[in-house]
Amino acid sequence: MLALSNRRSAWRHLALSGVAAVLLAGCGNDDPSEPSEPAAQAPAAAPAPPAVPAPAPAPAPTTLKSATDIGPPLTPNQLDSVVAASTAAGLAGASRCSVQVVEIVYATTAPDGTPAQASGAVMIPSGPGCEGPYPLAAYSPGTDLQRTRSMANIGDPEVQLVAAMLASQGFVVAATDYLGYGKSDLPYHPYLHAASEATASLDALRAARELGTQRGVGLNAKVFVTGYSQGGHASMATQKAIETGTVPEFALAGAGHMSGPYNLSSSVNAALGDLPLGDLGSTFYIPFTVTSLQKVYKNLYTTPGDFFQTPYDAAIEGIFPSPSGVSVSDLIAQDKLPILLSSLVTEGFIAAALNPASALHRAFVANSPTDFAPKARTLLCGGSKDPVVRYQNTRDAVAAFQAAGSTAVTSFDVENEPSYANLLRDDLVPVGVNGGYHASRVPPLCLLQVRNLFLTLR
């Protein structure tokens, strides 16, 4: 059997161990409210960050640098045990395929267009009744604090669930670790930077195709994209790149974006509207986003103290992502992060976040990948009681897509499915706040909805 430690606490998005119980008291409802007027005046308009560029062409001569099998193939029984321990138990059907997880290291590009290295995993199905050619699915994972985190780790609950729900049904899955994680050589992670998320995912798809050729794994022409939390943002950026950019080798058959922060400006403003606590995890994801985008654009602030209070400004640019073993509770204990959002951000940050002319606000807008009209069948899934990534992000994205003329987009709120009601209740799914609604209960149910859509389109 798989080594599934605490499977019900599942994915590690916004690793809030040790502080979650305190933060939960500040969880907002899913209707973002406008923050009150800041005391400080908005700073003068700074130069806007560049528009999100189309992903660079695949690096020459090849994308794939290395491929290493991680253990023996996972069996259908092992994969079924993963689903049985999740909220999708009894809903997903039996696994059809065994799955070999292969660690890949591949060439990609940094946000400034220079060559970079990334890593990830390719999940290859096989077995009787599971013959190819297979469709190819790009999967983008959720936020993680640990720089060593990799989708090639078969002990990782997110890896296990993706293998069980997608690869076991006959999809070859290419899952990026993103730049700055795993075996990437980029010294930072450009968190929620849409263009580099898309490039890392597209180059993972290219590497998966090269691996398929090397190993004689038949692939058909259909490509799908999906991801959860940060990965939902990344998969939406990837769909935008395919459908509006210069990547003609991919014919997108379908997309499924799950619980992502698609509207960055609205997400930040909603957290500010719930000061002093902010949203669950906002003292983590707001500085991660802002310091990452500062490293990309270099013009959001002059010094960290412009946006972050003392003593947190001193270390804030160097803690995301962190070395293995460092948690949010560790950062709080070391006075590198506070519990309250009001103790972290300055009045200058609040003013800039609310000022459409500021470089900060423009960076949020430039990295909200909702400014296109999806062509392939697209599903947005999430939960309207999510305290980490508000469901308003899904509403905003659907409204933007419809306003752009798309008729290919639908949404699914797990709270509106009567058969899911008991699966989302605390007393029936006894997970800690650390692995609660956003991280454990919603992902299997949304991945099931996405998988079912993909099966109709494969």
- In this prediction, residue 245 carries a pLDDT of 82
Q: How far is CA 433 from the centre of its chain?
A: 19
Name the DSSP class of 40.
Answer: S
Which of the two residues, 406 and 59, has the higher pLDDT score? 406
Is pLDDT of 7 > 70? no
User: With pLDDT > 90 as the criterion, what percentage of the chain qualifies?
Assistant: 79
- In this prediction, residue 49 carries a pLDDT of 53
Name the DSSP class of 375.
Answer: -
Return mean pLDDT, the chain: 88
Which residue type, as a one-letter code, is found at position 397?
Answer: A
C-alpha distances (whole Å) from 77 to each of 98, 246, 447 are: 9, 41, 19
Is pLDDT of 387 > 80? yes
Residue pLDDT, tens place only, 42-52:
334 444 554 44
331-354 mean pLDDT: 96
Nearest 10 degrees: CA dihedral of 111, 116, 119, 120? 40
Residue pLDDT, tens place only, 190-248:
999 999 999 999 999 999 999 999 999 999 999 999 999 999 999 999 999 999 987 88
Residue pLDDT, tens place only, 406-435:
999 999 999 999 999 888 875 444 333 444
Spell out the residues 6+ positions from residue 285 whose beta carbon is closer than 8 angstroms to its own: 14, 143, 261
Residue pLDDT, tens place only, 263-316:
999 999 999 999 999 988 899 999 999 999 999 999 999 999 999 999 999 999
- In this prediction, residue 6 carries a pLDDT of 38
Structure tokens at 408: 């290919």
Q: How confident is the model at residue 99 (pLDDT cuts 50, 70, 90)?
A: very high
Which of the two residues, 58 and 337, has the higher pLDDT score? 337
Q: How confident is the model at residue 22 (pLDDT cuts 50, 70, 90)?
A: very low
Distance CA 371, CA 13 (A): 26
Which residue type, as a one-letter code, is found at position 41?
Answer: Q
Give the 3-state DSSP-derived string for 20-34, with helices as H, strands as E and coil as C: HHHHHCCCCCCCCCC
- In this prediction, residue 265 carries a pLDDT of 97
- In this prediction, residue 62 carries a pLDDT of 73
- In this prediction, residue 100 carries a pLDDT of 98
Structure tokens at 215: 């190993």
